[in-house]
Amino acid sequence: MANINLLPVEYREKEKFNLRRVLIILFVLILAFSYAYLYFSLELQIDYKEQQLTTMKSELASIEKIIKEVQNLEKDKKMIEERIVVIQGLIDNQSRLSRILGEFSASILDEVWVDNFNSSANQTFDFTANTFNNYLIAKYMVALKNEPTFDNIELEYVKKTTIKEEDVDVDIVNFKLSGIFIPKRLE
């Protein structure tokens, strides 16, 4: 049979204190608070890690910029070092050529004029020149051989030609000499 209580509320029997019900409610409340605490703490940790990640990405981007600048500077340094080597070689070659031309011009005779002068890196040279006769060629060769800065002077060819100078035919001798330049030691 069903238990129906028709007494008014004030006369009804009060329920006894149920400890089991209170413990279950308390357990459910503690469980809900612990889940909420765990959820919010994990959310805060995720936000903190995301902020760290964005700062690290920005730092990484700035470091990559610096790395690119360093690489560009290293490329520039290498290019400048190569240019310095080239310039130093040009300066050394220029001083060698200027010494050769200085010695050469000091030894040239007044009656000889040079058409073409070639010098190579292994200290050899050759030139073509003009003069009035074979005696001046021989005199010039002896003058070059007597110079301590020239050696192995050889005559390659001699050609006689005629040029017109102020409506007068002038006989000249075209010749080619070669030799080795011995630079003086700079002290």
Tokens representing 19 are 């400890």
Contact predicate 130/111, CB 8 Å: no
Q: What is the pLDDT of residue 97?
A: 64
The pLDDT of residue 187 is above 50:
no
Tell me the pLDDT tens digit for each residue of 65-88. 999 999 999 999 999 999 999 888
| Rounded CA separation 45/132 (Å) | 102
What integer is the mean pLDDT of 85-105? 73
State what percent of residues in the chain have pLDDT above 90: 34
Tell me the pLDDT tens digit for each residue of 38-53. 999 999 999 999 999 9
CATH architecture of 108-181: 2-Layer Sandwich (3.30)
Q: What is the pLDDT of residue 182?
A: 77
Cβ atoms within 10 Å of 66's Cβ, excluding its own: 10
What does DSSP assign to residue 139? H
State what percent of residues in the chain have pLDDT above 70: 88
Give the residue from 103, 91, 87 showing the smallest Cα distance to 143: 103
Q: Which residues of 4-36 are buried (b: 16+ CB within 10 A; e: fewer)?
A: eeeeeeeeeeeeeeeeeeeeeeeeeeeeeeeee
Per-residue pLDDT band at 18 (split at 50, 70, 90): confident
Q: What is the pLDDT of residue 120?
A: 77
pTM: 0.45
Three-state DSSP string of 39-104? HHHHHHHHHHHHHHHHHHHHHHHHHHHHHHHHHHHHHHHHHHHHHHHHHHHHHHHHHHHHHHHHHH
